[in-house]
Amino acid sequence: MRRLCCKEMRYLKHLIALLTVLVLLTQPLLPLAEGFTPVAYVGKAVITLKVRSAPDREARGVDTIPEKGTVYVLEVTDPDWLLVKTDRAEGYVLAKYVSGMHDVGGVDISLLREPPELPDGEDPFVKQVDAFVENYVAYVRSGDYLYQTPDADGRRLRHIDAGKELRVCAVSGDWSLVRYREQEGYMLSSSLYKWDRLDPYAGEIPGLALPTRLIFLARTADVFSVEDNTILKADPLPPGSAIAAYEKDLLGRYLTPYHRTTGYVDAELVAAELAVVPWQDAQPGDLIAAMSTYYAVGIHTEKHRGRNWNIYLSTGMLSGIVLQPGQSFDMNKTIGPYRRSTGYHEAPIISSDAASGYGGGTCQVNTTFYVTSIQLPILVTHRRVHSDNDVGITYVPRGFDAAVGAGGINLQLINTLPYAIRYQFFVSDGVMTCCIFRL
């Protein structure tokens, strides 16, 4: 059989694309043919979703939808549950975990899925040995296997112990292409933590929250859990607080990263919002990144009052910092040294030999600064976490903290964006929010 030439192949692709458009335009006129799956809405998963066989938390799981994955909604069955379609099954997910839903008018699910553009018919994730590029550094969260292919049922190459350092070439779906001791293979991305980019333009860091807006509270507000609607924060946030959040969901809530989970505030309590603009599209003055972390204010001991003082002091030093393209930043040189003589108060700290010290609270400020920065192609050249276990640090997911202190306990980075940026902190009792604006 004669093979098609390049010109004929291009013509065929254009013809297929045209036919697809025609099908979409005439879809409301077509009968429900066999295999047709009418999709009413499309949204994004805020967290990894379990698809259940019935609208019940105890129902059997039939599939999962990854965090930030597309959710194809067939029907809104009630305020709490959505009937969805995946590649493997139909089932139910909790509505509160789906954001950005929009009406698509009941089109066929197969027409909503854009086929990936694969060079020469190959999977770009399956790299050749000589194509491995070290784009990230990460560490093994708990012992896990290195696989020959991105398949949990595939051949295991070796077991890698917890805490070992890996170099990562690429991330795709649930898998990462990694190198360990000159051996390359695939590991589940969920088995890795303490990520940092070696190439600032390598892409998103797995597990990193990416708020899409900054919201300002009109009135006192509680932060509730999306899991069970319980109050997460003992101290309500005061009016005027600025919070990094995702877009409003169908239930009228603004979801926000809260410690190691997801919380929300009611939309009726929000006075204004400012959208985060993708850094590639940003104009001077645009907000390009934001992150909030929360802290206690109701512990009225002298040391905890000292911690809150230190938070206000150090965020004031950081607000207004401008980094030109290619300019380096050193946190200890900016807000240190952490002494009484420089204005710091004694407060609780994370240390192997002391329970308190001057400057306690600055690590949370530094962490908030760090997690905001890595939402952008900014190169981190030095970072230290507090500990390789979960002791002490709960205000961000494990592996995303950044400590400051004496010696090498520091954060250093370079503005590798093509334009100047300015940092700005908004601090209210109980929440600090770091923002980055394009200049």
Within 8 A by CB and 6+ apart from 380, the residues are 196, 197, 370, 373, 374, 411, 412, 413
* Residue 252 sits in the same domain as residue 364: yes
pLDDT of residue 117: 43
Answer with the one of 172, 197, 222 that is the final residue of a domain.
Answer: 197
- Lookup: tokens for 413: 């980075």
Same domain, 92 and 218: no
pLDDT at 131: 72
**What would the pLDDT profile of 214-255 be if each residue is shown by its tens digit?**
999 999 999 999 888 999 988 899 999 999 999 888 888 999
Q: Is residue 68 part of a domain?
A: yes
Task: Output the pLDDT for position 20.
Answer: 47
The answer on 91 and 161 residing in a single domain is no
For residue 4, the 8-state DSSP code is P
Q: Which of 112, 132, 167 is the last residue of a domain?
A: 112
> Can you list the alpha helix ranges (DSSP code H) found in 319-361?
331-335
pLDDT tier at 407, thresholds 50, 70, 90: confident
Whether residue 233 is contained in a domain is answered as yes
In 251-337 the beta strands, taken as DSSP E runs, fall at 253-258, 261-266, 270-275, 287-294, 322-323, 328-330
Question: Could you give the number of structural domains in the chain?
Answer: 3
Q: What DSSP line would sit under 46-59, residue for residue?
A: SSPEEEESSSSTTS
Based on the domain organization, do 248 and 396 belong to the same domain? Answer: yes
| Domain co-membership, 358 together with 336 | yes
Please give the helix or strand (H or E) that residue 20 lies within, else none: helix 6-26
Distance CA 341, CA 344 (A): 7
Distance of alpha carbon 247 from alpha carbon 210, whole angstroms: 11
Query: CA 38 to CA 54: how far, in whole Å?
Result: 19
In a domain, 206, yes or no: no
Task: Say yes or no: 186 and 224 in one domain.
Answer: no
pLDDT digits 0-9 by tens, 319-357: 999 999 999 999 999 999 999 999 999 887 765 455 677
Q: Which residue segment(s) compose the domain that 165 sits in?
A: 124-197
The H or E element containing residue 166 is strand 165-172
Q: Which of 112, 137, 163 corresponds to the end of one domain?
A: 112
Looking at the structure, tell me whether residues 249 and 378 fall in a common domain: yes
What is d(CA 363, CA 375) in angstroms, rounded to the nearest whole number? 19
More reliable by pLDDT, 354 or 312: 312
CA geometry: angle 187, 191, 194, nearest 5 deg:
110
